[in-house]
Structure 1
Amino acid sequence: MAYVPEYEDESITREKLDQSDGLRLLEFGANWCGYCIAAQPDIEAALADHPDLAHEKIADGPGRPLGRSFRVKLWPTLILIRDGEEIGRIVRPESEEDLKGFLRCC
């Protein structure tokens, strides 16, 4: 799966994520968020090195249970999970290099 350009409404529950297999990158944010918009070129560039990594962009905000279950407070927040377990998190990445370092374990 390649880079996903738009944040979408929650399409998966925390329970399903906890039971999922493999590696997955969850990105929480909002399409109108300035920090999220500014980070997109770096996120897209970093993900180019990981074409098989499942990338899911999840629209977050008040009353959104998935973001709350991961205790997301700032956007964008990127959470790497393997077999349902969180293995890493980066909040408001500042550069492509930050993201490449974060994704090095993939």
Structure 2
Amino acid sequence: MSVTLKDFYADWCGPCKTQDPILEELEEDWPDVDFEKVNVDEEQDVANEYQVRSLPTLVVENDDGVVERFVGVTQRDDLEDALQTAEA
């Protein structure tokens, strides 16, 4: 089962900068998860496809589709729970 965490962000987004260190830690601890950063200013079509309306938005996906989505700064525990669910 492949798992992806998509981080929808923008350079001007303050809360996105708060989210970054949490995601960087997760990326070190979850080597099997594919972490993708999606700049909504540059990739509006992808943001629209995922119906991103506010930032940051984090989407956890596996082979079956979207497992969980978070809007706003999300704590590590919540993200780890979603990753565990996605890998199951």
Compute the TM-score of the two structures, normalised by the length of structure 2.
0.79
Equivalence for 1:72: 52
Which 5+ residue runs of structure 2 have no aligned equivalent?
none
Equivalence for 2:83: 103
User: Residues of 2 paired with 1:65 and 1:99: CA distance?
Assistant: 25
User: Residues of 2 paired with 1:104 and 1:43: CA distance?
Assistant: 15
User: Residues of 2 paired with 1:25 and 1:54: CA distance?
Assistant: 6
SS in 2 for 1:102: helix
User: Residues of 1 paired with 2:45 and 2:26: CA distance?
Assistant: 28
**Identical residues among aligned pairs (%):** 28
- CA root-mean-square deviation: 2.2
Tell me: CA distance 1:63–1:79, structure 2 relative to 1, closer, same or farther (3 Å). Answer: closer
Compute the TM-score of the two structures, normalised by the length of structure 1.
0.68
Number of paired residues? Answer: 86
Which residue, 24, 29, 52 being the options, matches 2:4?
Answer: 24
Instruction: Note if contact 1:35-1:75 (Cα within 8 Å) is conserved in structure 2.
Output: yes
Tell me: CA distance 1:99–1:63, structure 2 relative to 1, closer, same or farther (3 Å). Answer: closer
Q: Which has the higher helix share?
A: 2
Shift of 1:96: 2.5
